[in-house]
Structure 1
Amino acid sequence: MYTPHDFRRMFATEAVTGGLPVHIAARILGHMTLTTTQAYLAVFQDDLVRTYRGFLDRRRADRPQDEYREPTEQWHDFQQHLELRKVSLGTCGRPYGTPCKHEHACIRCPVLQMDPRQKPRLTEIIQNLRERIREARANGWLGEVEGLQGSFDAAMAKLSSLKRSPTDGRPQLVDLGMPVFTTMHPRPGGDREGPANQP
């Protein structure tokens, strides 16, 4: 059994999937916002794909043919950049066209995006750095100790961030606590002063 509202929804869906712009449908239905109209639309996956392909075909027909060019050498450079971003501990986050500022010392680099699956490898690196620091101190190589200590601190920070981040990739709930409300007292001049517990 249908209700009048069902017919409004059917009209909105048929009109928009038939090519009527959604903002025009919103005016016809008397909606104040597009969000309300979009809630009326029952757009299914095949409708979405068909409509988008039709949109692309119309755009390509209107665009001059000489604007469709083969990928240039710059595209290959861009692809190579993405390949070079893959490192043993994860992915280098540096933008395209920028050099590596840390001479490929990824463990120190703040733009390294750690892969959680590489946690055992990171643990091995930390253990190796700890042993090298011990050896350098025993031999009095103080310059070596300073450099290794910087790498060790950076590695420990990355390990700590891996422990804080979820391993399954899903967002986790964060308890922000209950908000605390304070009483405001009016000043003699009419404006308000700070909370009551402040001097």
Structure 2
Amino acid sequence: MPLLFQYDRSGEISAMNGEFLRKCLNDILDATGLTDADGCPLDFDPHDFRRIFITDAIRSGLPPHIAQVIAGHSDINTTMGYNAIYPAEAIEAHRAFIARRRALRPSEEYRTPTSEEWDAFLGHFERRKLSVGICARAFGTSCIHEHACIRCSMLRPDPAQRARLTEIRDNLLARLTEAEREGWLGEIEGLEISLAGAQEKLALLDAEQARTRRTVDLGMPSFANLAGRTSTADQP
């Protein structure tokens, strides 16, 4: 794998160890004659330059996950913690992105909409409101289930309408039982699809409710564990 600090040892690429890098760094500091505010010689460790290196590398276009490998971090969030992003740079980067996007998109997309187009846009969101939730389909798209909303994956059920969903499911069960008893084979398949949709929406509500109520016990970290994690995550 590529190494950040390496040398050719008889035709074999070898990594420079930390002690060698510290010695090189101290030799450079001694040669500069620089001192700190108290007049003492500067004392740096390779780890002190990690924030500078990662920030400069990512700003120069290096993918964060590559910087993670070079830094030896097991979690990319650790790497991004060393990446110093300044508000002015973030704003300029966003403006540059918007400018590139507008240059690629047709100019007519940025014209002022007519009153009819604006009314159609607002009407789309009004028509998304359903008795058991909301339709999540995008603007300008048609209903794929001919308004059989209980079957549709775009239906986002409202937890407050659980009782109504339960009533719909029970009604579908009763109708399915009747169709099977009377031999209405043409209705059985449609009722089964609708019943599966209702049960899926109820299961979705149950899963969401369980997720919001679930608590995770993180335990109480000890000083020994914290020290161990810091030393292993931030090795140069």
- What TM-score does the superposition give when structure 2 sets the normalisation length? 0.43
Corresponding position of 1:132? 175
Corresponding position of 2:85? 34
After superposition, residues 35-74 of structure 1 pair within 5 angstroms as: 72-74=115-117
After superposition, residues 93-104 of structure 1 pair within 5 angstroms as: 93-104=136-147
CA distances 1:55-90 after superposition (whole Å, capped 9, x unpaired): xxxxxxxxxxxx995863211100000000001111
Structure 1: 5+ residue stretches without partners = 1-31, 39-66, 176-199
Q: Report 1 or 2 for greater relative contact order, CA contacts < 8 Å, sequence distance ≥ 6.
A: 2
Corresponding position of 1:106? 149
Corresponding position of 2:189? 146
Cα gap change, 1:97 to 1:68, in 2 (>3 Å): closer
> 2: distance between equivalents of 1:154 and 1:107?
6
Structure 2: 5+ residue stretches without partners = 1-82, 89-109, 217-236
> 1: distance between equivalents of 2:194 and 2:152?
9
TM-aligned CA deviation for residue 92 of structure 1:
0.4
Aligned length: 116
Compute the RMSD of aligned alpha carbons. 3.2
TM-aligned CA deviation for residue 146 of structure 1:
1.0
TM-aligned CA deviation for residue 172 of structure 1:
5.7
TM-aligned CA deviation for residue 111 of structure 1:
0.5
Cα gap change, 1:164 to 1:70, in 2 (>3 Å): closer
Query: Secondary structure of the residue that 2:191 maps to in structure 1?
Result: helix
Q: In terms of mean alpha carbon deviation, does 111-120 or 70-79 score higher? A: 70-79
Corresponding position: 1:75 with 2:126: no
> 1: distance between equivalents of 2:214 and 2:180?
44
> 1: distance between equivalents of 2:160 and 2:85?
43
Which one has a larger percent helix, Structure 1 or Structure 2? Answer: 2
> 1: distance between equivalents of 2:113 and 2:121?
15
Q: In terms of mean alpha carbon deviation, does 104-113 or 72-81 score higher? A: 72-81
- What TM-score does the superposition give when structure 1 sets the normalisation length? 0.51
Letter matched to residue 100 of structure 1: C
Corresponding position of 1:16? none
Letter matched to residue 135 of structure 1: E
Query: Secondary structure of the residue that 1:166 maps to in structure 2?
Result: helix
TM-aligned CA deviation for residue 33 of structure 1:
2.0
> 1: distance between equivalents of 2:193 and 2:128?
23
Query: Secondary structure of the residue that 2:209 maps to in structure 1?
Result: coil
Query: Secondary structure of the residue that 1:34 maps to in structure 2?
Result: coil
Letter matched to residue 34 of structure 1: I
